[in-house]
Amino acid sequence: MRFLLLLFVLSMAVFAKAEGPRVSGTEGPRANGTESPRANGTEAPRTNESTKETGVAFLTDYKQAQAESAKTGKPIFLDAYTTWCAPCKAMEKDIFTKASIKSLLETDFVPLRLDMEKEPGISIAKQFKVSLYPTLLVLQGGKELHRGVGFMGVSALQAFAKTSLDATTQWQTLNQRFENGDRDPALLNQLLSYAKKTNIPAYETYILAYLRSTNGWSTLEGQELVLQGIQTVSTPLFDSLVSQQAALGARFGEQIVSDRIARMVDGTLFGDTPAKPGKAKKLIRRAYPTAADSTFIRYQMRRSREAGKAKKFGKYAIESQDKYPTSDPYELEELIYVFDQKLLGWKTEKVDAWRVRKEDLQAAEGSW
């Protein structure tokens, strides 16, 4: 039901000939207290004098770092930062200036710092699916060995470096075992813990493998993994989320679960690469099996509205009200407004009937 309301409200947005620029690569929750960019987009130029003079001698050229890595055999330690990230600035000022960290990174790695909102950082962020900052990437030969996310103190960074250099503990080795078919429970737990901390796309894959190996779909742990770790609508995790909606709602809250489903469906239907109607209908049937037809009509309303096709929107709006008349007077008021503004004189008998029904609903609301 919440998705039906979401589709309707979004479909009521005013027609616009042009939109503001979209944010590319929408992020999840930013790691450990990061700040949003300043509203006016201005900020004092970023300086790195402390690390240049007394701290880690970071390279700032990716190709140079790759060449140095190939020459020395040492992996690249990439500090992936943004100018608005508070923990990034704290690490630059308080951690990368420490003598022990300088010695560690310069001895065992090729240290590199890149602004991920400028090239080549933008391309690297897309390649390695970096969306949280700071992210520390350990790379070699164009492949990711390990990563860490969020602020790290001296001891945490030292431990991270040790883990990333050890072939028995680094993510690449563990993931290779998984890719080769290893489903040892200890390995799966290691991968799940790592993926949850780093928010890598493989998290969903690890969850699915874990639940299949343990058959723990309906356990508390399994339900938490389904609710928190699901990333796409294209795996059995999404079907489990829908089929267990009542049980999950009772345990974690109905609104939390319904909102989770709605956000995932909406992101697929109207994201950067919107689903075509055929695929949209299949997804809606999966997500809302008892309200698939009404939801698909509202999807068509919103799709028509965003495309600027007023009459097509009007046809779907009439179909929606004929088949599934709303009990919400404010929804009718919005529809009437759209018809008065964009379709004046068209299907007036329908609009007049909506006016009467809206008044009756408002009167009924006031009667109690």
Return the CATH number at 149.
Answer: 3.40.30.10
| Cα 296 to Cα 7: distance, rounded to the nearest angstrom | 10
Tell me whether residue 325 is in a domain: yes
| Cα 60 to Cα 83: distance, rounded to the nearest angstrom | 15
Tell me whether residue 287 is in a domain: no
Q: To the nearest whole number, what is the mean pLDDT of the chain?
A: 88
Q: By residue range, what is the domain housing residue 145?
A: 49-166
Tell me whether residue 218 is in a domain: no
| Cα 88 to Cα 90: distance, rounded to the nearest angstrom | 5
Q: At which of 131, 166, 201 does a domain end?
A: 166
Report the candidate in 316, 362, 323, 321 with the shortest Cα–Cα distance to residue 343.
316
Contacts of 149 (CB under 8 A, 6+ apart): 31, 132, 134, 135, 136, 197, 198, 199
| Cα 115 to Cα 124: distance, rounded to the nearest angstrom | 10
Q: At which of 125, 143, 166 does a domain end?
A: 166
Q: Tell me the CA distances in angstroms from 135 to 103, 161, 252, 286, one per residue in order.
A: 20, 13, 30, 35
Q: What is the pLDDT of residues 262-321, one digit of tens each?
A: 999 999 999 989 999 999 999 999 999 999 999 999 999 999 999 999 999 999 999 999
How confident is the model at residue 365, as a pLDDT? Answer: 83
Q: Which of 3-17, 112-126, 149-163, 301-315 has the lowest mean pLDDT?
A: 3-17
Report the candidate in 267, 226, 229 with the shortest Cα–Cα distance to residue 247.
226
Is the pLDDT confidence value at 8 over 80? Answer: no
Q: Tell me the CA distances in angstroms from 255 to 232, 246, 283, one per residue in order.
A: 19, 11, 20
Question: What does 107-151 look like in DSSP terms, one character per residue?
Answer: HHSEEEEEETTSTTHHHHHHHTT--SSSEEEEEETTEEEEEEES-
Task: Give the count of domains, the chain.
Answer: 2
How confident is the model at residue 6, as a pLDDT? Answer: 52
Tell me whether residue 354 is in a domain: yes
How confident is the model at residue 136, as a pLDDT? Answer: 98
| Cα 295 to Cα 64: distance, rounded to the nearest angstrom | 53
Q: At which of 142, 166, 190 does a domain end?
A: 166
How confident is the model at residue 35, as a pLDDT? Answer: 40
* Residue 110 and residue 57 in contact, taking contact as beta carbons nearer than 8 Å: no
| Cα 335 to Cα 333: distance, rounded to the nearest angstrom | 5
Tell me whether residue 69 is in a domain: yes
How confident is the model at residue 42, as a pLDDT? Answer: 37
Q: What is the pLDDT of residues 88-139, one digit of tens each?
A: 999 999 999 999 999 999 999 999 999 999 999 999 999 999 999 999 999 9
Tell me whether residue 337 is in a domain: yes
Helix, strand, or coil here: 203?
A: helix
Tell me whether residue 60 is in a domain: yes
